[in-house]
Each structure stands twice: as structure tokens, then as C-alpha cells.
Structure 1
């Protein structure tokens, strides 16, 4: 699984989400990711709930293909400021 696959899963699983996914450690490490996600689905959600929405979008890949993911989740307004 590569960064593009992870971005697609997040964007397909969250309304109007835009995801940017990188490999913050070793670029050849295909199990550790960092995701910056912007979505209106995060409005009025706690940080924990935002992360849970991203985990839900990744589904079974969180246990099968992704060892760890750092998540930064923003509403569109938060991201703009």
C-alpha cells in the first residue's frame, strides 16, 4: 500500500475530504504514514472523533496494511487559518 492508496481510501470514506499522505520515517517503509485531512465532516467533532472517522475510512487496512498513521484533521475553516 502506498501513499496514494491511503489518500484514496480516506477521500472515498469521508465527505468532501482532501487528504495528503506522506511517509514521515523511511520513504521505503510502506506501513508508517502521516495524513493531513481536511473535511467538513469534522465540524463540531472532538479530536478523538475526527481520528476515529479517519480510522473508519481506512477500515481493515488499519490492521492488515497500515502499521501506524499520524493524523492531523482539520475543518476547511481551520485549515484556512
Structure 2
């Protein structure tokens, strides 16, 4: 999967999410990715649950097409404070 396809899938499956996905630096495999996801659904959820929402949005692709995903998740308010 391309980074753009992964971003599109996250955004399609998480309401009001904004995802930026790129190849992880220093990795030569196409299946190592880095993603930043901003989503209001993360509000009040611990980091583990936020990441699980993203994994759920990607479904079986997490085990078939994506070998590694470096993930940063933020609520819109958290992201605005960066």
C-alpha cells in the first residue's frame, strides 16, 4: 500500500480524522510507515485506545500489507498546541 492509500483508509474509517502518512526514514521496505493522525474521537481515550482505533480503521491491512506503523495520535486541541 502507498502512504496515500493508508492515509485515505484512515480518514475514510475515522470520522473527521486527518492523517499524514509517509515512508519511515531509514527503512528500505515499502511496508514500514510513519503516520500522524488527528481525530476528535481520540478525546478522553488513553494512547493505547487511540492507536487501536487507527489499527481498526486499517483492518486486515495491518497484518497483510503494513509490516510496521510508527504512529502518533492527537486530538485536534492537542495538535493545535504543538
TM-score range, shorter chain: over 0.9
TM-score of the aligned structures, taking structure 1 as reference length: 0.94
TM-score of the aligned structures, taking structure 2 as reference length: 0.93
Cα root mean square deviation, aligned: 1.2
Match of 1:31 in 2: 31
Match of 1:8 in 2: 8
List gaps (5 residues or longer) in structure 2: none
Runs of 4+ in 1 over 4 A off after TM superposition: none
Match of 1:67 in 2: 67
Alignment length (residue pairs): 81
Distance 2:71 2:42 in 1: 13
